[in-house]
Structure 1
Amino acid sequence: MTNDTKSPEGSPSPLRPITRCITGHNPQTGQAIIERDTLNEWQSFPDHGMAFNVVYSTNSMPANLAQDADLTAHDATIASGKLGLVPPGGTVCRVVDFAPGNPCVVHRTRSLDIGVIVEGTVEMVLDSGERKVLGRGDVVVQRATMHGWANPSQTEWARVMFVLQDIEPFEVAGKEVVEELGEARDVVKSSGN
């Protein structure tokens, strides 16, 4: 795989496209149906060697599925163009593709993030200097820490699926933990939390 291969839906990544399949209920029978079955769009950030694919978001926890309120809220969030890393009071599922040798962007989300390495290898970098190399199938539970992601391969792309959920405010070492985007400001909007 090379850095200049393009996927059909606009991601610079040569990894396979992502199909998003959302289920629902037939209103007459109550049986499960496929509500939506689409290829999801990518937002590319070539200067940072990555691309984002927002699979789904909610604006409340627990999510409200009645009369497809969650679908309506997700569509409105995406259409607004204002989605930060995690919606205040909600969740987001985002897939991130990392180019070979991507620059590591250190940042803090004020959220609980679960990351599953789907393809390739990534290195988690913490502000303490700790580093951890993770491969396909590994899982990271990132708890509002200052961190970054690097793809140590010079030839292969990496893909990580992240599920982020907003958290209650808290303090560490006498300071409130807040979102800190650093260089990630070029990539994502502030969540406002």
Structure 2
Amino acid sequence: MEEARAPNNGQLSQLPGLTHLVTGHDKDGHAIIQEERAAPWRTLNSQTSLHEIYATSKFPPNLNDDADMIESKQILATEDLGLVHPGGIICRIVDFAPNNDPMIHRTQSLDYGVVLEGSVDMILESGQVRTLRRGEIAVQRATMHGWRNRSKTHWARMVFVMQHSEPLILDGVALEQDLESFKR
């Protein structure tokens, strides 16, 4: 039976805490675990907390001389890290409180969202709602959307990989990033 992991510092939910394992190479070129650390969390509001795992500023990233590791630490240490990092990719975990208020937003990015714990409603600006369960994946393509955990008692968790994208143009008009609900 798997040992339960205590929540990390700053984590709002009581879901298992997270540990990062970053691989690299020894002097002989063999794969090794180069870094292991507990996950730091930041609170978005009382219903949502985020944990950024890794970030880059360009694609493809430069893995030579640990340039990507150095860059990721610098990006994640900034106070003004947005949901998307211009020119790069962010991997993050998001915990949603039971019966949370969804924050409807659009990012200028191609996002892969995978449900890890619980189930989450994907709410689209058109009014469409789809429930994603553990293991299901949503590919968000600069759409106006939000996430709702309908459970009355259990937290939900998703992992997102968000890649900055070119602006989306529809009928000659750019659909701009819209994060108004995050500014409350």
2:70 corresponds, among 49, 55, 72, to 72
> 3-state DSSP class of the match of 2:76?
helix
The residue aligned with 1:18 is 18
The residue aligned with 1:44 is 43
Query: How far 1:93 sits from its partner (Å)?
Result: 0.3
Distance 2:87 2:181 in 1: 24
Mind listing any 5+ residue stretches in structure 2 that lack a counterpart? 1-5
The residue aligned with 2:3 is none
Distance 1:129 1:115 in 2: 19
1:183 corresponds, among 178, 181, 184, to 181
Q: Give the aligned residue type for 2:60.
A: P
Distance 2:120 2:168 in 1: 28
Distance 1:52 1:135 in 2: 19
Deviations 1:47-73 (A, max 9, x none): 3x1110001001110011111110111
Q: Give the aligned residue type for 1:12.
A: L
Query: How far 1:151 sits from its partner (Å)?
Result: 0.4
> 3-state DSSP class of the match of 2:37?
strand
Query: How far 1:12 sits from its partner (Å)?
Result: 1.1
Give aligned pairs, total.
Answer: 179
The two structures have a TM-score, normalised by structure 2, of: 0.93
> 3-state DSSP class of the match of 1:75?
helix
* Stretch moving more, 111-120 or 174-183: 174-183
Q: Give the aligned residue type for 1:158.
A: A
Structure 1 consecutive aligned stretches of length 4 or more whose deviation exceeds 4 Å: none
Q: Give the aligned residue type for 2:103.
A: V
Q: Give the aligned residue type for 2:152.
A: Q
Distance 2:83 2:157 in 1: 17
RMSD: 1.3
The residue aligned with 2:116 is 118
Q: Whose relative contact order is higher, 1 or 2, with alpha carbons under 8 Å and at least 6 apart? A: 1
Q: Give the aligned residue type for 2:163.
A: Q
The residue aligned with 2:170 is 172
Q: How does 1:94-105 map to 2 (within 5 A)?
A: 94-105=92-103
Query: How far 1:131 sits from its partner (Å)?
Result: 0.5
Distance 1:109 1:181 in 2: 7
Distance 2:8 2:69 in 1: 25
> 3-state DSSP class of the match of 1:149?
strand
Q: Give the aligned residue type for 2:30.
A: Q
Distance 2:168 2:102 in 1: 26
Mind listing any 5+ residue stretches in structure 1 that lack a counterpart? 1-5, 187-193
* Stretch moving more, 168-177 or 134-143: 168-177
Q: Give the aligned residue type for 1:70.
A: D
Distance 2:147 2:126 in 1: 14
Query: How far 1:169 sits from its partner (Å)?
Result: 2.2
The residue aligned with 1:190 is none
Distance 2:44 2:80 in 1: 17
The two structures have a TM-score, normalised by structure 1, of: 0.89
